[in-house]
A = this chain, B = another copy of it.
Amino acid sequence: MTSGTTTAPGTDGASARPLDQVVLERTSIPERVAAVLRSWIAEARLPPGVRLSEERICAELAISRNTLREAFRLLTHERLLLHRLNRGVFVRVLGVEDVEDLYRVRKLVEPAAVRELRGRPAGLDRVAAALAEADAAGARQDWFGLGTADLHFHRALTALAGSPRVDELMDRVLAELRLVFHVVPDLRSFHQRCREENRRILALLEAGDGAGAAEALTGCLDSAERELVTAYRERPRASL
């Protein structure tokens, strides 16, 4: 962004340090670049379908092409970018099949993650916190934030399974789902309904009824999928 100077490997100490988000962790530059691009994609600053020019982003982030290309690989692997050989990388545009598959995964994983739960599992507070986040976003009519809160809710749900790998899978799935949200506009009522169902799911979990929560989740995901798929079919503007 700033800092036109050459930025030697570890010389980003004092004043001008591009791309610092997580200053604490010692991560490599490609990873930090990937994090920046990831957030740009999540915020639709890089909307689905656009091509990411190597040259431009290199200049903007003050990094070299090789470094940027490593970051591209990372995000391509996460399905956020599409790499077309000799043509460049693009923010992915998901098709209806993708939406369906995304929900296939969710319906497989999310209910399974809560079904066997008994008692009051540690981590339920995170689930509740996500609900509160949704309420706050709804109160200030922040629809993007409302969608984010819904993703956080389901992320917290699957985290109850206590598996790092499931967590990672879910992170990816939800990041892809955000691409869907960017294509379908006007999701206020959609997220409102989700919020009510989420509340019910949390109540069931707090009552120790994992099986009931799993069932409610399945229904919730089913209806959400139906709604998204129909909304998606009516809006197939971007090709590719």
Q: Which residues of A does B touch, CB under 8 Å?
A: 26-28, 30, 66, 69-70, 73-74, 77, 83, 85, 101-102, 104-105, 108-109, 111-113, 161-166, 169, 173
Contacts and interface: CB of A to CB of B under 8 A. Distances in A.
Please tell me how many copies of the chain the complex holds.
Answer: 2
B163 A85 contact: no
B66 A104 contact: no
Across the A-B interface, the 9 shortest Cβ-Cβ residue pairs: A104-B163, A112-B112, A108-B112, A77-B77, A105-B165, A73-B73, A66-B66, A101-B163, A70-B73
Given A104-B161, A112-B109, A161-B104, A26 B166 contact: no
8 contacts: A66-B69, A69-B70, A70-B70, A73-B73, A101-B163, A101-B165, A108-B163, A165-B173
Contacts of A113: 108
Given A26-B85, A77-B77, A112-B109, A104 B166 contact: yes
A172 to B, nearest CB: 8
Nearest to A77: B77
Contacts of A111: 112
